[in-house]
Amino acid sequence: MVGDGVNDAPALTVADIGVAMGEGAALAVEMSDVTLMDSNLTKLLFSMDIGAKVITTVKENIAFSIVVNLIAIVLTCFGKMTLLWAIVSDVGTMLLVTLNGMKLLSPRTIAAIERKQDGLLTVRTERKKDGERYENLNEAFESRTANGVGSKVGSTVEYSGFISIPYGIPLV
């Protein structure tokens, strides 16, 4: 659940994961699990994507460690593993697991996630009447408001008087 107002606080509390906008009501920020400090929803997508990469990396690291330790155990049972090689394999595994985890900090990984998000946002944008895509989401909302479909009120756009969507968020 994503919310920013006092009326969203109960839903944020009972949701599996409650996300509050940093510029929203203090009660919503207090009741949420995650707070987006600058109210940028693309950071929520980024956090979810990087979280998935973290889980994949942790699974890789655990699998690698188990395989190396099993090899060390088998070699020990056959009398081929010395204490020195056991220490080297353990320290080597620790270093490789650490380096594998550090790949998440690389600019290349972050750029790949951002490119993926840009692709998702491009796919979800609406088309103009002549079939061309809007340049950005703000242009799509401006067009809808100019055509009388909705009205822009502050930082939100209201459609048909019953739904209020934060300005700049794509409709799916």
Q: What is the CA radius of gyration of the chain?
A: 24
Q: Is the pLDDT of residue 167 over 50?
A: no
Residue 15 confidence class, pLDDT cut points 50, 70, 90: confident
* pLDDT per residue as tens digits for the range 86-142: 999 999 999 999 999 999 988 888 888 877 766 655 444 455 556 566 555 555 556
164, containing H or E segment = strand 163-166
100 or 25, higher pLDDT: 100
C-alpha separations of 121 from 13, 24, 118, 162 in Å: 29, 24, 5, 25
C-alpha separations of 88 from 69, 96, 139 in Å: 12, 12, 60
Average pLDDT over residues 20-26: 81
Q: What's the pLDDT at 6?
A: 80
Task: Report pTM.
Answer: 0.59
| Secondary structure letter of residue 17 according to DSSP | S
Angle formed by the axes of helices 83-102 and 42-77, nearest 10°: 170
d(CA 102, CA 97): 9
**Which residues, 6 or more positions from 38, have their beta carbon under 8 angstroms from its beta carbon?**
22, 23
Note whether 28 and 44 are within 8 A (CB). Answer: no
Residue 75 confidence class, pLDDT cut points 50, 70, 90: very high
124 or 41, higher pLDDT: 41
C-alpha separations of 107 from 6, 61, 90, 104, 125 in Å: 38, 21, 29, 8, 27
